[in-house]
C-alpha cells in the first residue's frame, strides 16, 4: 500500500488534478477513478484533501481514490476548505464597496471562515478612509490590516496572518488583489514543482482556481470569481446572527422574534445608538434583511 498517498488538490483543469503529496512536497497529476464517478462521488475541488494511488512515479501520475470531509465548499469560485478569506478594499480608485465587504463577511460567518480585511493603497489616503474602515469593522471584532506596496506597509503583519491557513482573496476589481498576490508569490511561496507558471499570472483573461504553498506553512489561493457575491442562500431570520457585533445582544431584545429594525426594546439598535456598532453596517443590514424577507415572502409566487 506504499503507493497510496495523502495530498491536497492544488488545481484542476479538464479532469486532471495537480495533487501535492503533503509529506514529500511532490506534485502528481491525477485523474478520478471511474468507479468514484459511478457511485455518485463528489467532484474534486482545489483545496480538497485526498488520498491517491500512484500509477507511475517516473511521470508522477496517479488516481484520486477518496476525497476527505469538507469544512466548506463553493460553486463559484469552485474551491473547498477555505480557512481564511482576505477581503481586499482600496481607500480609493475604486471607491470602497462596503456592501460587497459586508456580504463577504456574512459568507465567512455562515461558512466557518475566518475573515481578514485588507485596506489597500493607504499611500493614496487623504481623507482618513483607512482609519474609518478600521474603526467600523474593529467594532465588529474583525482584524483590519492597512496595506501599501508603495510604503511597504502591512506586509509583515499579513505574512504572519497567512501562516498555517488556506487563504483565499476577494474584493472588487481594481483594489489591488493581483499586486498583493504577486508580492506573496514572489516572496513567500515554496520553491517546489513548476514555479515558473506563477510568473504567468495576469497574462491570461481566463484563470483557474489554484493553491500555492507558503514557506511558513499554509496556502494562498488565486480565486477568480469572488469579486461579486450575494447572500441569497441565507434566511432573513438568521442574518443578525452573522454579525458578530449584534450576536452578543440578540437574546436581550424585548421580543424574541425581533428583526432589529423597528421593534421597541431592541438591543441591537441600542448598540448602534450608543456608537458601539457601526451605523453604516447596520444600515446595510436593514437593506439585506428586507431583500431576504421579500424573497422569502415571494418564494411561492409566480
Residues 6+ apart with CB under 8 A from 131: none
Q: In the sheet that 166-170 helps form, which strands lie side by side, from edge to edge?
A: 143-146, 114-120, 84-90, 166-170, 219-222, 210-213
Question: Is 259 annotated as ligand-binding?
Answer: no
Q: Is 93 annotated as contributing to ligand binding?
A: no
- Contact (Cβ atoms closer than 8 angstroms) between residue 44 and residue 67: yes
Residue 65 C-alpha cell reads as 481514490
160: annotated binding-site residue?
no
Confirm or deny that 38 is annotated as ligand binding.
Answer: no
Q: How many residues are present in the chain?
A: 302
- Other CB atoms within 10 A of residue 290 CB: 13
Residue 88 counted as an annotated binding residue: no
Residue 172 annotated in ligand binding: yes
Q: Is 236 labelled a binding residue?
A: no
Q: Is 153 labeled as ligand-binding? A: no
266 is in an annotated binding site: yes
Q: Which long-range contacts (CB under 8 A, 24 or more apart) does 254-261 make?
A: 259/289, 259/293, 260/285, 260/289, 261/286, 261/289
Closest CA to 73 of 127, 36, 110: 110
> Is 258 labelled as part of a ligand binding site?
yes
Q: Is 122 annotated as a binding residue?
A: yes
174 is in an annotated binding site: yes
Is 206 within any annotated ligand binding site? no
Q: What's phi and psi for 109, nearest 5 deg? A: -65, -40
Q: Is position 231 annotated in a ligand binding site?
A: no
Is 30 annotated to bind a ligand? Reply is: no
Q: How far apart are CA 297 and CA 49, in angstroms?
A: 40
The verdict on whether residue 173 carries a ligand-binding annotation is yes
Nearest to 150 by CA among 194, 105, 180: 180
Using alpha carbons, select from 52, 56, 73, 40 the residue that is nearest to residue 8. 52
120 annotated to bind ligand: yes
Q: Residues comprising the binding site for Zn(2+)?
A: 253, 258, 260, 266
Which residues participate in the annotated binding site for GTP?
120-123, 171-179
Binding residues: 120-123, 171-179, 253, 258, 260, 266
Amino acid at each position: 500500500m506504499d503507493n497510496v498517498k495523502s495530498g491536497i488538490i492544488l488545481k484542476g483543469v479538464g479532469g486532471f488534478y495537480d495533487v501535492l503529496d503533503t509529506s514529500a512536497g511532490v506534485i502528481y497529476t491525477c485523474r478520478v477513478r471511474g468507479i468514484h464517478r459511478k457511485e455518485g462521488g463528489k467532484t474534486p475541488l482545489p483545496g480538497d484533501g485526498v488520498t491517491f494511488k500512484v500509477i507511475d512515479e517516473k511521470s508522477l501520475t496517479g488516481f484520486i481514490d477518496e476525497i476527505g470531509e469538507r469544512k466548506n465548499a463553493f460553486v463559484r469560485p469552485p474551491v473547498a476548505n477555505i480557512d481564511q478569506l482576505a477581503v481586499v478594499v482600496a481607500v480609493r480608485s475604486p471607491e470602497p464597496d462596503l456592501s460587497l465587504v459586508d456580504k463577504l463577511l456574512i459568507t465567512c460567518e455562515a461558512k466557518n471562515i475566518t475573515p481578514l480585511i485588507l485596506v489597500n493603497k493607504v499611500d493614496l489616503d487623504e481623507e482618513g478612509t483607512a482609519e474609518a474602515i478600521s474603526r467600523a469593522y474593529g467594532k465588529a471584532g474583525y482584524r483590519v490590516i492597512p496595506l501599501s506596496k508603495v510604503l511597504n506597509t502591512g506586509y509583515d503583519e499579513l505574512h504572519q496572518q497567512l501562516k498555517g491557513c488556506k487563504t483565499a482573496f476577494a474584493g472588487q476589481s481594481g483594489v489591488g488583489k493581483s499586486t498583493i498576490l504577486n508580492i506573496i508569490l514572489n516572496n513567500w511561496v515554496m520553491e517546489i514543482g513548476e514555479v515558473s507558471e506563477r510568473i504567468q499570472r495576469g497574462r491570461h483573461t481566463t484563470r483557474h482556481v489554484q493553491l500555492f504553498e507558503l514557506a511558513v506553512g499554509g496556502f494562498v489561493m488565486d480565486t477568480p470569481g469572488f469579486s461579486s457575491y450575494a447572500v441569497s442562500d441565507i434566511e432573513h431570520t438568521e442574518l443578525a446572527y452573522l454579525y458578530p457585533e449584534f450576536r452578543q445582544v440578540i437574546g436581550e431584545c424585548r421580543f424574541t422574534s425581533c428583526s432589529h429594525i423597528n421593534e421597541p426594546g431592541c438591543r441591537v439598535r441600542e448598540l448602534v445608538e450608543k456608537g458601539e456598532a457601526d451605523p453604516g453596517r447596520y444600515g446595510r443590514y436593514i437593506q439585506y434583511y428586507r431583500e431576504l424577507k421579500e424573497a422569502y415572502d415571494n418564494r411561492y409566487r409566480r
